[in-house]
Amino acid sequence: MNKVIASPAEAIADLADGSTVAIAGFGVAHRFATSLILALRDKGAKQLTLVCNSLGDPGATRGQILAESKQVKKLIAAFSVRPGTPTASEEQIANGEMEVELVPQGILVERCRAGGAGIPAFYSPTSVGTDLVKGREMRDFGGKQYVLEHAIHLDFALLRGYRADTLGNVQFRGGSQNFNPSFAKAARHAIVEVDEIVEPGGIPPELIDLPGIFVSRVVKSTQPADAKIARRAERRPSDKPRLYNGKPALTRAGIAKRAAALVKDDTYVNLGVGIPTMVSNYLQERHVILHAENGVLGYGQMIKEDGVVDPDVYNAAGQFVELKPGASFFDSVTSFEMARGGHIDTVILGAYEVDETASVANWSTADAKRGGIGGAMDLLSGKGDLIIVLEHADSKGRPKLRKKCSYPLTGQGCVSYVVTDLALLRWNGNHFVLEEVAPGFSAEEVMAMTEMHVVPAPQVGFMG
């Protein structure tokens, strides 16, 4: 049984118009099946339903190039658009030329896992209380609401591995398993592009991450990763403080540092994209284990721009990070089992808005077809503390701490703490308590710039 195909073009030769195709991969340029994606673009198959985490930036050798060639009819993804990045897919979505089904990242992989396991549907707590459940079947289990999710079945999955043998057994490297196993299991034809093909026995059995029974074809990559593209993931947010009433607030790094101080020792912590990623730089001497949705447990601080990186060791934002002793790797299904199963003690996320009912909105500034859910809704369905980090006002000076969120909710009544560049607030079960303000500001000043109802603590301190 030899599953090796001579070329990417031959590997996708039977991929027909109207097929449902999944593309695995994570971040900016981490282990995508670039050779197979280019072959699919050149083949010109039309009316495709594309299943992926996101399509990527303009020109990226990901699903976006299929959108640019107008081959995609429908998108099933955790991210349909990203703010500030105009793309062909965004234009097509806005014009009604591309249908969109936004799915939380953990549910996306779980629906594919179910499809591969012969499970037609399941109930999940993820997205309950949000716009995503409108018109969906709900059930109560043990006094808690759950939404019905249907399995996803794929015609083809385009995957990227490190090594494979001729029997189709695949080894992934580092944190690059991500969606590959669940997509492979859901597909009639799972095609894996790899750096190296070996004979049976060339991969030790304990290093096989995807058994060959789930793999239809193996092809050697003809498009090696571009290191310059991969390093885009190291870009850091600006650290220039904003001015309020003519005075500087905390920098974004200052927000991250204060949030890090809220984290308890001997806990498992997940960090979201943006300001939360910087929190890892302030936990290095702490007894804390960091979790990333792409499948890493036990990573450390971000690697500086002039540092040596491992292309398969990165966080959920796609930034290259160090590993700590005792770190482990796994796929996205396992990663979100940790989240929804309540094994993560603290989640730190960015947001567009938080309201006075401790609800949060962080995935869409437009409508439910144009946004980026990512893994946030899955992370919020666990039982740990939720710390939201954000600037106190938006770029137009409008407050982000609202009486009621104006954007679609990510989660209801779930926020434990809010850390802004002006304030630290704690939810006491009824309202937010203002416990600290930025140096140089008074509690009265900060409350005047806060739309939501806030009660000051008996002694309001200063953020350090």
pLDDT at 229: 45
Rounded to whole angstroms, the Cα distance separating 443 from 423 reads 9
Report yes or no: 98 and 67 within 8 Å, Cβ to Cβ. Answer: yes
Report the percentage of the chain scoring pLDDT > 90. 83
pLDDT score, position 322:
93
Tell which CATH classification among 3.40.1080.10, 3.30.70.120, 3.10.180.10, 3.40.50.300 matches the domain 243-462: 3.40.1080.10
Let me know if the fold of 8-221 is the same as that of 243-462: yes
Delimit the domains of the chain by residue range.
8-221, 243-462
Q: Which of 293, 356, 391, 436 is catalytic?
A: 293
What one-letter code names the amino acid at 134? Answer: K
Instruction: List pLDDT tens digits, range 190-241.
Output: 999 999 999 999 999 999 999 999 999 999 999 876 444 444 443 334 578 9
Q: Give DSSP secondary structure letters for 382-423.
A: SSSEEEEE--SB-TTS-BSEESS-SSPPSBSS---EEE-SSE
For residue 125, give Cα distances in angstroms to 132, 341, 342: 12, 10, 12
* CA–CA separation, 196 and 135 (whole Å): 47
Q: Give the pLDDT confidence of 273-303 residue by residue, as tens digits.
A: 899 999 999 998 899 999 999 999 999 998 9
Is 199 a known active-site residue? no
- Topology of the domain covering 8-221: Glutaconate Coenzyme A-transferase (3.40.1080)
What Cα–Cα distance (Å) separates residue 185 from each residue in 62, 78, 119, 138, 154? 21, 19, 12, 27, 9
